[in-house]
Amino acid sequence: MKVAVVGATGLVGTVMLKVLEERNFPLTELIPVASEKSVGKEITFKGKKFPIVSMDTAIGMRPDIALFSAGGNTSLEHAPRFKEAGTTVIDNSSAWRMDPTVKLIVPEVNAHELSIDNKIIANPNCSTIQMVVVLKPLHDKYKIKRVVVSTYQSVTGTGVKAVEQLMNERKGIDGPKAYPYEIDLNVLPHIDVFMENGYTKEEMKMVKETNKIMSDDSIKVTATTVRIPVMGGHSESVNIEFENDFDLAEVRSILEESPGIIVVDDVANLKYPMPKDAHEKDEVFVGRIRRDESAPKALNLWIVADNLRKGAATNAVQIAEYLIQKELV
């Protein structure tokens, strides 16, 4: 299995390499790819050094799988070229997610949709992934009518430049800016660009991607996405209104038994999910499970996950593992 990691020097790409290594992914050849400025530099994988190659060199090597995390435009331009060379592309950018011919996959929810014909597969937005992992088992049992979500998102979701901005601000250094305002000691109700309807693109991604992944347009979703000066992962306050009533103990046990979820919900002992605890973990953490006392058949949850792991790298690697296991690549 020849695997290209496109964007290997970036935040997601670096975690991708770590996840491939940790999970002992069955690769025989690793092809790290980045922009022209990085070609010739080396990355270390399983104790061995690998030179970073250009996009053209990588395509010429005809990898079986290419894990892309190099931005939307790079993906739009180059994913079809890998596809032409017979490579299956798993893309982390938003470029292909809403293309009706492309599957948008969270393995715990809809890996069964994949077939051998899917040569470009999209990884959803980080905030959407961690939410749908939790929504899916609850939807199967109680049928979700409406979701109201507010996010508290880590600066690592913006990439290397944003982490540098936060660190520079902490040290009083005036450096390059990833955000229009200071992020340290601040909260920005603004992720991605604003759209005509007053929502941000990130908010609309959470709406549309949830419907696509869950294959159910009847689920109403409304989102407010917010950047906070945190590094470990994204947090979400999620209010869910169901068609059918639920029992809180049953909700807890459904979540405990669902794949990829860890319930941390013991307020008597001050246990609840936090980004510091989710950092470098592959699971989605759920807590503060409580009935919404202002509405019938409604539930409040707090969901946390490492956006670079389950929100990006781990989800992509899980898709690749599924393709191999089912012989779809």
Interaction of residue 93 with ligand NAP, rule CB under 6 A: yes
Q: Is 225 in the site for ligand NAP (CB under 6 A)?
A: no
Interstrand relation of 88-91 and 120-122 (parallel, antiparallel or unpaired): parallel
- Assess 318 for contact with ligand NAP (CB under 6 A): no
Q: Which one, 281 or 291, has the nearer CB to ligand NAP?
A: 281
Helices (runs of H) and strands (runs of E) counted in the chain: 10, 14
Of 244, 289, 252, which Cα lies nearest the Cα of 267? Answer: 289
Q: How far apart are CA 132 and CA 10, in angstroms?
A: 25
Site size for ligand NAP, by CB under 6 A? Answer: 29
**Among 67-75, 192-200, 217-225, 241-249, the segment contacting ligand NAP (CB under 6 A):** 67-75
Strands 298-305 and 234-242: antiparallel
Q: Among 65-73, 189-197, 224-232, 238-246, which window interacts with ligand NAP (CB under 6 A)?
A: 65-73
Among 203, 311, 320, 323, binds ligand NAP (CB under 6 A): 311
By the rule CB under 6 A, 308 interacts with ligand NAP: yes
- Which amino acid, 241? E
Residue 205, CB half-sphere, CA atoms under 13 Å: how many?
A: 24
Burial 12-31, CB ≥16 within 10 A → b, else e: bbbbbbbbbeeeebebeebb
- Kindly state whether residue 80 participates in binding ligand NAP, applying the rule CB under 6 A: no
Does the protein bind ligand NAP through residue 69 (CB under 6 A)?
yes
Structure tokens at 215: 């294959």
| Position 226 contacts ligand NAP (CB under 6 A) | no
- Catalytic site includes residue 190: no
**Which candidate in 78, 139, 234, 279 is catalytic?**
234
Region 4-43 residues binding ligand NAP, contact defined as CB under 6 A = 7-13, 33-35, 37-38
Q: Which of 159, 224, 272, 281 binds ligand NAP (CB under 6 A)?
A: 159
Angle at 241 between CA 133 and CA 286, to 5 degrees: 35
Q: Give the CA-trace dihedral at 113, 107, 70, 324, to 10 degrees.
A: -80
Q: Which stretch binds ligand NAP (CB under 6 A): 66-74, 192-200, 243-251, 292-300?
A: 66-74
Orientation angle between helical segments 314-325 and 11-22, nearest 10 degrees: 50
Which residue minimizes CB distance to ligand NAP? 10
Q: Given the complex with ligand NAP, which of 312 and 329 has the nearer CB atom?
A: 312
Binding interface with ligand NAP (CB under 6 A): 7-13, 33-35, 37-38, 55, 69-72, 74, 92-93, 126, 156-157, 159-160, 307-308, 311-312
Give catalytic residue positions: 126, 234
